[in-house]
Structure 1
Amino acid sequence: MENTMSLQLYRALSQLGRSIHRTGHGMAHDCAAAHTMHHGQYDALSLIGQEDGASQQDLAEKMDIRPSSMTELLGKLEQADRIVRRKDENDQRVMRVFITEQGKEDIQQIQSVFSNFTTALFDGLTEEEQAQFLTLIQKVNMNIKEKMDTEELSDHHCGHHGHHGHHDIHGLHGRHGHHGCHDLHGHGLPHLHDTRVGKK
């Protein structure tokens, strides 16, 4: 028998994801920095702000992307005067990456918009309700991870359709090839894994 409650929860989460997507995208237009920087660039800039002077190779490893992709990403940030790259004084083969004042200002602007966004998003819940909601979401995420690890929710259960029209709760950005994905991350505003700037 179909688990009606599970289906209702799934639909509610999908609707929540779409609402966050629309609201976040709209708020991003009020922030020039967010409007001109996609989430990958923001993630890199935020990481550089935390680890100013890190090598380009280390940044690529921590972001788990190819060196060539990192080079392209940093090139766009440098073109926008958000970072500078300099060769290591002791090893000319190593390229060091530093955040600029413009980069710091852009991060702070985005963080301010994102803070207002998240506050407005959950201001209908008490602190206790927010804590309970967070606990439940974390349990769902852990369950999904465990199921994925055991392949119970692997791709073949979706019928080999290339994920077209697939709904999940991972990233509204819609990874390459995942057309029509809906989830619980805001597309208009970048991820804020750590909001510290200029701290190591």
Structure 2
Amino acid sequence: MTKKQETGTNDFPFIQNSLMKIMHREFSINFLQIKKYGIHPRQIPILMLVSKNDGLSQIEISKRLKIKPSTVAVSIQRLEKCNLIVRKPDKKDQRVQRVYKTEELIQIAQSVYDLSNRNEKLMLEGFSDTEVCLLKRFLKQIYQNLENLSISENEILKEKRGEVRQ
């Protein structure tokens, strides 16, 4: 690998740069494909989770998808306005909101799922089964490596504010 390949564009690490480009392109494609449903690509994971797991709490959704509860709350509000989900208080604990799919979500869920599968097949076109298996393993390992970092969210915030000494 040449020095240019190692560092990527503008001295930004090649793998990070490539992953960001891939995600940006995939996000743009998804946005165009699903805007007819009135949803945003970042809402797809919540929709797919609720469509297969009716009655989850917002906290359960947050934990399963590893996204902030506040982000889940905003997405849930927007999806509720689109009549794709409905929130109901938990029967045992009224403070807990359970999220349920609506008939509208049932009608579009399969289409959105099919679009996602088709896009993934297109992304992996030209790869052998072995290469796809290796790619999945590599991506899981990258994710696990990032999960294992011992940097807390507070440390990141302090660093952004310039409070961390080196």
Fold match, TM over 0.5? yes
1:28/1:14 CA distance change after superposition, 3 Å = same
Q: Which amino acid aligns with 1:81?
A: N
1:136/1:8 CA distance change after superposition, 3 Å = farther
Distance 1:94 1:16 in 2: 37
TM-score norm. by structure 2 comes to 0.66
Contact 1:54 1:96 in 2 (8 A): yes
1:129/1:50 CA distance change after superposition, 3 Å = same
Hey, what does 2:164 align to over in structure 1? none
Aligned length: 152
Structure 1 residue 57: Cα displacement: 5.1
1:75/1:121 CA distance change after superposition, 3 Å = same
Contact 1:28 1:35 in 2 (8 A): no
Hey, what does 1:149 align to over in structure 2? 150
Hey, what does 1:104 align to over in structure 2? 106
Query: Percent identity of the aligned residues?
Result: 19
Please show how residues 12-27 of structure 1 align to structure 2 within 5 Å: 12-27=15-30
Distance 2:40 2:73 in 1: 16
Given candidates 27, 34, 37, the residue that maps to 1:31 is 34
Distance 2:88 2:94 in 1: 9
Q: Which amino acid aligns with 2:21?
A: R
Given candidates 43, 68, 80, the residue that maps to 1:65 is 68
1:101/1:119 CA distance change after superposition, 3 Å = same
Contact 1:31 1:109 in 2 (8 A): no
Given candidates 124, 127, 130, the residue that maps to 1:128 is 130
Distance 1:89 1:140 in 2: 41
Q: SS in structure 2 opposite 1:123?
A: coil
Structure 1 residue 116: Cα displacement: 1.0
Task: State the Cα deviation string for residues 75-94 of structure 1 (Å, max 9, x = none).
Answer: 22111110123344566555
Contact 2:31 2:41 in 1 (8 A): no
Distance 1:92 1:128 in 2: 49
Contact 1:55 1:96 in 2 (8 A): yes
